[in-house]
Amino acid sequence: MNLRLILYLSILLLGAILGYKDLISKKILSRLNTLQSISLLFLLFIMGIRIGVDEKVINSFLKLGFQAIIISVFSIFFSVLFVKLVRMVAFKETDKVGYKGES
Amino acid sequence: MSLKIILAVVIGIFTGYFLLPESILTSTGLIIDIGLCLLLFFVGIEIGKNKEVITKIKKMGLKILLIPIMIIIGSLFGSIIAGFILGIPFNESGAIGAGFGWYTLSAMILADYSSELSALAFISNVVREIIALISIPLIAKYIGDIESIAPAGATAMDTSLPVISKSTNPKTAIVSFITGVVLSTAVPILVPIFINI
């Protein structure tokens, strides 16, 4: 995990420095969004393959799926709710930045 | 974006289930690592391009840590309530919730305790990650940018980060990374604590 953390952080930093110093060519920058979308969807496809190819996961999914969905939905719901509450209390002054929207 | 995400995962699951041999698992690990690094690099460029981001984060200061803390409390609270409904002891449901979407680690920690619970932790956290990927663009659009980090849990620093970055803004992407680091550190601490209560 620690090695991974360092790897992720250094790659993020490398990208951030290159972006900050304007060392990335305009051509790549203009396609950044498309590049991100394509690699993201490809990655999700591979993640799906990993779930589908593993007989154990699929079998236990059918068996434990209902419980798993209840647990994860509740976890997510309360995480979002608590973050929303703390945001209303502690981050009042933080301006809302516009969304980039979908693309 | 949400629809594309669902389609990509579902097509992947069907391809894996019907078309590919289980031996492909090892090579997909490498592809995921490479793809993730590429995506993180793009996210980095995006953060770097927005030069005012760092000052905004500095202005938030230590308050940033409130976000992972709230996600921890919310996840544990939610999973314990769900466990109560399903008749699972609170230490077991709490341990599952403390996986925060990091399915491989939470399942591994619980493997010694019971294989049934380990399987449930694995599936619950896989489902959490899938729901996170689908709901992040929607939460970002209708509830708020910082709130969209919450479903991601520990994956806010890697697999969910590109989705959060795409659905929100560079400031949220940095907060997301920090949140993911804190939550990933909390998983190996909190899962054993809960299961040993």
Which residues in chain A are contacts of B36 at CB distance < 8 A?
8, 43
* Cβ-proximal residues to B5 (8 Å cutoff; 6+ apart), any chain: A41, A44, B133, B134, B137, B163
CA-based end-to-end distance of chain B: 41
Q: Are residues A39 and A74 in the same domain?
A: yes
Q: What is the 3-class SS of chain B, one letter each residue?
A: CHHHHHHHHHHHHHHHHHHCCHHHHHHHHHHHHHHHHHHHHHHHHHHHHCCCHHHHHHHHHHHHHHHHHHHHHHHHHHHHHHHHHHCCCHHHHHHHHCCCCCHHHHHHHHHCCCHHHHHHHHHHHHHHHHHHHHHHHHHHHHCCCHHHHHHHHHHHHCCCHHHHHHHCCHHHHHHHHHHHHHHHHHHHHHHHHHHCC
Residue A102 has pLDDT above 50, yes or no: no
Q: Do A51 and B71 touch (CB under 8 A)?
A: no
Note whether residue A84 is domain-resident.
yes
Across chain B, which has 197 residues, the per-10-residue mean pLDDT values are 77 88 80 81 81 76 90 97 95 95 82 81 88 93 94 90 90 90 87 88
The first and second tokens of residue B59, run together, are 């202005």
Residue B163: give the domain boundaries.
2-195
Note whether residue A95 is domain-resident.
no
Q: Are residues A35 and A22 in the same domain?
A: no
For CA atoms B193, A47, A74, B178, the dihedral sign is positive
pLDDT of residue A93: 53
How many alpha carbons fall within 13 Å on the CB side of residue B166? 28
pLDDT of residue B181: 86
Contact B76, A77 (CB under 8 A): no
Note whether residue A52 is domain-resident.
yes
Contact B45, A16 (CB under 8 A): yes
Return the CA Rg of chain B.
17
Which tens digit of pLDDT belongs to each residue from A25-80?
Answer: 777 778 877 888 888 888 878 878 887 887 777 777 777 889 999 999 999 999 99
Domain count, chain A: 2
Angle (nearest 5°) at CA B157 between A18 and B150: 130
Rounded distance, CA B164 to CA B149, Å?
A: 7
Identify which has the larger pLDDT, A24 or A4.
Answer: A24
Domain count, chain B: 1
Ordered alpha helix ranges (H), chain A: 2-20, 26-30, 32-53, 55-90
Note whether residue A99 is domain-resident.
no
Residue A49: give the domain boundaries.
31-90
Q: Are residues A21 and A37 in the same domain?
A: no
Q: Are residues A48 and A82 in the same domain?
A: yes
**B60 in A contact zone (CB under 8 Å):** yes
In the numeric block, the tokens 């969209």 are attached to: B148
pLDDT of residue B1: 62
Q: Are residues A81 and A68 in the same domain?
A: yes
How many alpha carbons fall within 13 Å on the CB side of residue B50? 18
Which residues in chain B are contacts of A37 at CB distance < 8 A?
1, 4, 166
The first and second tokens of residue A33, run together, are 């969004």
Q: Are residues A54 and A81 in the same domain?
A: yes
How many alpha carbons fall within 13 Å on the CB side of residue B79? 31
- The pLDDT-based confidence of A92 (bands split at 50, 70, 90) is low
Rounded distance, CA B128 to CA A71, Å?
A: 9
Q: Which of B43, B163, B178 is nearest to A24 (CA)?
A: B43
Q: Are residues A58 and A9 in the same domain?
A: no
Q: Which of B33, B5, B105 is nearest to A48 (CA)?
A: B5
Q: Are residues A2 and A37 in the same domain?
A: no
**B84 in A contact zone (CB under 8 Å):** no
Note whether residue A100 is domain-resident.
no
Q: Are residues A35 and A21 in the same domain?
A: no
Q: Are residues A11 and A44 in the same domain?
A: no
Among candidates B97, B123, B171 on the partner chain, residue whose Cβ is nearest the Cβ of A61: B123
pLDDT of residue A99: 46
Q: Are residues A85 and A37 in the same domain?
A: yes
Q: Do A46 and B31 touch (CB under 8 A)?
A: yes
Note whether residue A19 is domain-resident.
yes
pLDDT of residue A103: 38
Q: Are residues A37 and A72 in the same domain?
A: yes
